[in-house]
A and B are shown apart, each in its own frame.
Chain A
Amino acid sequence: MHIPDGLMEPTIFAIGWFIAILVLGVATKAVNKRVDKRQIPLMATLAAGIFVAQMLNFPIGGGTTGHLVGAALAAILVGPYAGVLIITVILIIQCLLFGDGGITTLGLNIFNMAIIGCFVGWYVYKAFPKKYEIAGIFTASWMAVFIGSFACAIELAASHGISGGAYGITASISIPMMLIYHTVIGIGEAIITTGVITYIAHLSPEMLKIPKIMLRGVSEEASVNV
């Protein structure tokens, strides 16, 4: 779902940059001077793990593939604000070093994958009662991808509409196609995210007890009842 250069109308990617910078400012302010030293190796390892997992596309049928975004995974493990920063750093490295995603559309990629992914992932996960936590992780990670792809489809359609067809993709193709593909890709994301968190819960439960930084204060609650 990394949008390349030349696909989006300049007004649309400028709006993407504006929102991304605004939210990154809020996330940095929320996280600043609040990262527990115990969290640093987890955050670094988690980010590096998500980077390589994003390289491993899995087939979803019909000659199409998908890959883990990892935003819900990061948000559930370290909280949404630190999660946004982690996914943003990954997207910047992918763009600047590996040419994955355009530099003009980096703001939109941060918005679709880091911001929507982490906040949708976190709040859907928190909406589920503790009793149904595994179902919550599964649904949250699926929705993080699905809503992110819907935003991308809207951006493509808006670019097409504003530019009179010079940029973007018409809504009649972008919305159904993006949603159909990402409905299936989201299931892959949900299986991987649920599997990883359940595995961590068995292997190293103390990792799930690390406080999650929120806008005000921290959530001391462990991810997954351990």
Chain B
Amino acid sequence: MFKRKDLLMISGIIILFAIGLVGFFIFSAPYGDGLEKTMEEAEVEESEPVYQAPLDYGDNYALALSMGCIGFAITLFAIYIVSWLLRKSDAPQQH
């Protein structure tokens, strides 16, 4: 299970994310990434998605922070489950 050190690291990441999100909304929020800018240069419009996701990252600080925390928790849980399923057996290996 998670030790105190891991919990401190998790708290540290969430705090850094909350701070980093301020910078994101000040400097980056209205702009696209490299692929989006390339699409813009080529005058290619993004089409309707085939699958409609239930959530989005949010367009204001509070919502983005909440969505980040939800995504963080889901990813943490998902990888925990995947790596637990792929873990080494406790039993000594036969040679």
Chain B residues within an 8 Å CB radius of A103: 49-51
Chain A residues within an 8 Å CB radius of B24: 55-58
Tell me the smallest distance from the CB of B51 to a CB of chain A, in Å: 4
Binds B, one of A15-23, A114-122, A169-177: A169-177
A3 and B38 CA atoms in complex are apart in Å by 12
A82 and B81 CA atoms in complex are apart in Å by 14
- Among B6, B20, B46, B88, the residue within 8 A (CB) of A34 is B88
Interface hub of A41, A43, A182 (most chain B Cβ within 10 A): A41
Chain B residues within an 8 Å CB radius of A2: 35
Known: A34-B86, A34-B88, A45-B13. A5 touches B49 (CB 8 A): yes
Assess whether B83 is in contact with A35, with CB atoms less than 8 Å apart: yes
- Among B47, B64, B71, B76, the residue within 8 A (CB) of A4 is B47
- Among B31, B34, B39, B76, the residue within 8 A (CB) of A169 is B39
Tell me the smallest distance from the CB of B3 to a CB of chain A, in Å: 7
Assess whether A66 is in contact with B33, with CB atoms less than 8 Å apart: yes
A34 and B21 CA atoms in complex are apart in Å by 36
Chain A residues within an 8 Å CB radius of B1: 41
A133 within 8 Å of B by Cβ? no
A40 within 8 Å of B by Cβ? yes
- Among A7, A45, A98, A174, the residue within 8 A (CB) of B76 is A45
Known: A65-B33, A103-B49, A103-B50. A48 touches B42 (CB 8 A): no
Secondary structure at the A interface, as helix, strand, loop or mixed, is: helix
- Among B32, B34, B53, B83, the residue within 8 A (CB) of A182 is B34
Known: A45-B9, A65-B32, A102-B49. A56 touches B23 (CB 8 A): yes
Assess whether A45 is in contact with B6, with CB atoms less than 8 Å apart: yes
Binds B, one of A25-33, A123-131, A136-144: A25-33
A223 and B64 CA atoms in complex are apart in Å by 33
Assess whether B88 is in contact with A152, with CB atoms less than 8 Å apart: no
Assess whether B50 is in contact with A100, with CB atoms less than 8 Å apart: no
A1 within 8 Å of B by Cβ? yes
- Among A6, A40, A177, the residue within 8 A (CB) of B46 is A6
Not counting A6-B47, A28-B86, A56-B23, a sample of 15 additional A-B residue pairs whose C-beta atoms are within 8 angstroms of each other reads A4-B46, A5-B49, A5-B51, A34-B86, A35-B83, A48-B76, A51-B75, A52-B68, A55-B71, A59-B27, A59-B28, A64-B37, A65-B28, A67-B33, A177-B34
Could you list which residues of chain A lie within 8 angstroms of chain B, going by C-beta atoms?
A: 1-7, 28, 31-37, 39-53, 55-59, 62-67, 82, 85-86, 89-90, 93-100, 102-104, 149, 152-153, 156, 169-170, 173-174, 177-178, 181-182, 185, 204
- Could you give 15 example pairs across A and B, Cβ below 8 Å? A4-B46, A36-B88, A50-B75, A56-B17, A58-B28, A63-B31, A65-B32, A82-B83, A98-B67, A99-B49, A103-B49, A103-B50, A174-B42, A185-B33, A185-B34
